[in-house]
A and B are shown apart, each in its own frame.
Chain A
Amino acid sequence: MTDLSADLRVRHPGFTLEVSHVFPGQGITALFGPSGCGKSTLLRVVAGFERGATGRVAFGEEIWLDGRRFLPPHRRGVGYVFQDARLFPHLSVRGNLDYAHGRAAARAARYSYGDVLDALDLGPLLARRVTDLSGGETQRVAIGRTLLARPRLLLMDEPLAALDTRRKGAIMPYIRRLPEVFGVPVIYVTHALEEVTQLCDRIVALSEGRIVAAGGVAETLERLDLAEVQGRFEAGAILTGRIVAQDRALHLSRVDLGGVQVEVPQIALAKGAQVRLRVRARDVALALERPRGLSMRNCLEARLMSITPEPATAFAEVLLDVAGQHLRARITRAAVADLGLAGGQAVLALIKAVSFDRQALPRDRSADAGPP
């Protein structure tokens, strides 16, 4: 496990990227932020494609950039999956894979050519021309090609951005498994929060060329004011729990959060499976007594921890404790006043079942495990 340490600056006209961070040599780290925040530039500096950077980049003991020292990209052992895939059009799928395999560094291989074909289901595509592949197939081939070069670190630059929702859903499980199956740490650039919550272990949030937050996905997203990072995404909270019941007729799953249960649209997993749910603050409403005749499926007992009015807006951010986990609600300041809300108060949090983002968690990831 080799860490990547970066302490660097890039100055472009009207834009400065200034970043100092150590990326751990395991799991998937999201590099998250809006377009133009510098996340792709940072990734390109790490790969060695951006020559204008100053500072220091080191992979373990190996120095990639330091003053005049510059290790060219082809000697870094870094894999790069581009948003536009960049398969070589003059080669077939097999030709593209062989290109990488033939140039792979003589590092001890933890996996074979066949393992990569199997993991990404590339066998049926081998004879195809790359120009005849669908968007999802193209990205699978690009990921496979990169793995065959045996990278020590895998950089992915919005690999799903060009795909529609259905194709994204199809390829995400492949990406999720990369660190476990191939033993390679991943830095994953994205501006889509759903990709962060569904794929990543850690998040580094960038805004206007600076890191504004970094840490585990659940706790960082909980405290990060995402409106600051990206206007169209609001802050939310991550809840972890376990599936306790499946209603196949009504297509619902019941998830236990540790004493409190929520009902969400069906998650295709067995009972007992751990899941991670993300709830946007704006999808949570508060009530003082249990309402009747309401379509909202989830009414959770919560304790009000804090109320933060947003200056110069109609809104306030309310932090809640639900069965020991944090939940955020975004309500109007007028509602805070009308209901007489105050810290420590017992309230009911109302959440529509449709507003959950859902992610399955592998069983062995104890670090992210929710309540038993």
Chain B
Amino acid sequence: MGLPDLGPLWLTIRLAAIATMILLVIGTPVAWWLAFTRSRLKPAVEAVTALPLVLPPTVLGFYLLVFLSPNSALGGVWLAATGTTLTFSFTGLVLASVLYSLPFMVQPLQGAFESVGRAPLEAAASLGASPRDAFFSVAAPMALRGYLTATVLSFAHTLGEFGVVLMVGGNIPGRTKVVSIQIYEEVETVNYAAAHSLAALLLAFSFTVLLAVYTLNRRFPVHAGRS
């Protein structure tokens, strides 16, 4: 009994923050491509990025475990290069979280880019803006609401992951023990008070973040073209 250990909570927040930042960098070009491509590969890529939405986390976790293990090609190269394993490590967790939360970054961004459309980009080009310039000066600001939604959803989704972490990360204090697993552990050991305070903290935190986002969205609506 007693106050819960807050270490796993900080670890979780750190994990979610890093994964979200990586997702912003990876998700933007993927979403951009999906929004504007005429390639026949589009449905296939869309399906792959949506997979984490429907797969049981244990399935995703299982395959990650297989592909990240030191016996696999990727895991082997990583072990040779860094001397550490990808499985049961914080790095492995970040990698897993990025995959796990990918649709939560890509889908809102894709929708935002689609609603911005080509029209403002053509206008920017006609005013002398290069494609890169037009992205940062026109498309990204117009898709700001999409970025806000995608960031919050990715962060919150990573915060709540359980199954994937359990499969890939295990339960190593200070390295892979995240708050959802800690709660599970407290419940298993009938330490309901600690489980309760952690669960309530997570609930309050998630609610506050979402409330803040939706309030900001309402007070300062982002004008995003036709959306």
Give the tally of cross-chain contacts (CB within 8 A).
71
* Set of chain A residues within 8 Å of B224, measured between Cβ atoms: 89
CB pair B126 A88 closer than 8 Å: no
- B123, B130, B134: which has the most chain A beta carbons within 10 Å? B123
A104 at the interface (CB under 8 A from B): yes
- Interface residues of chain A: helix, strand, loop or mixed (majority): loop
B216 at the interface (CB under 8 A from A): no
**What is the 8 Å Cβ interface bit string for chain B, positions 9-21, against chain A (1 contact, 0 not)?**
0000000000000
Query: With A49-B125, A72-B130 given, can you name 17 additional A-B contacts, CB distance below 8 Å?
Result: A47-B122, A72-B125, A74-B125, A74-B127, A79-B126, A82-B119, A86-B120, A86-B123, A88-B120, A89-B142, A89-B224, A90-B223, A99-B127, A99-B129, A103-B127, A104-B128, A131-B223
Nearest-CB residue, chain A, relative to B118: A49
CB pair A88 B125 closer than 8 Å: no
B70 at the interface (CB under 8 A from A): no
A84 at the interface (CB under 8 A from B): yes
* Set of chain B residues within 8 Å of A105, measured between Cβ atoms: 128
- Interface residues of chain B: helix, strand, loop or mixed (majority): helix
What is the minimal beta-carbon distance from A360 to any residue of chain B, in angstroms?
30
Indicate the size class of the contact surface on chain A. 20 to 34
CB pair B141 A100 closer than 8 Å: no
Among all A-B residue pairs, the 5 with the closest Cβ atoms: A80-B126, A103-B128, A86-B123, A89-B223, A73-B125
User: In the bound complex, what is the Cα–Cα distance between A146 and B126 (angstroms)?
Assistant: 8
* Set of chain B residues within 8 Å of A100, measured between Cβ atoms: 127-128
B138 at the interface (CB under 8 A from A): yes
A204 at the interface (CB under 8 A from B): no
User: In the bound complex, what is the Cα–Cα distance between A87 and B223 (angstroms)?
Assistant: 12
CB pair A149 B127 closer than 8 Å: yes
| Given A74-B130, A131-B223, A84 contacting B125 (CB threshold 8 A) | no
Nearest-CB residue, chain B, relative to A87: B123
By a beta-carbon cutoff of 8 Å, the part of chain B in contact with chain A is 119-120, 122-131, 133-134, 137-138, 141-142, 144, 222-225
User: In the bound complex, what is the Cα–Cα distance between A86 and B225 (angstroms)?
Assistant: 9
By a beta-carbon cutoff of 8 Å, the part of chain A in contact with chain B is 47-49, 72-74, 77-80, 82, 84, 86-90, 99-100, 103-105, 131, 145-146, 149
| Given A89-B142, A90-B223, A131-B223, A78 contacting B126 (CB threshold 8 A) | yes
User: In the bound complex, what is the Cα–Cα distance between A90 and B134 (angstroms)?
Assistant: 13
* Set of chain A residues within 8 Å of B130, measured between Cβ atoms: 72, 74
* Set of chain B residues within 8 Å of A89, measured between Cβ atoms: 142, 223-225
What is the minimal beta-carbon distance from A133 to any residue of chain B, in angstroms?
13
CB pair B223 A86 closer than 8 Å: no
What is the minimal beta-carbon distance from B135 to any residue of chain A, in angstroms?
12
A-B contact pairs, 25 of them (CB 8 A): A49-B122, A72-B125, A72-B130, A72-B131, A73-B122, A74-B126, A74-B127, A74-B128, A74-B129, A74-B130, A77-B128, A78-B126, A80-B122, A80-B123, A82-B122, A86-B122, A86-B123, A88-B124, A88-B142, A99-B137, A100-B128, A103-B127, A103-B129, A104-B128, A149-B127
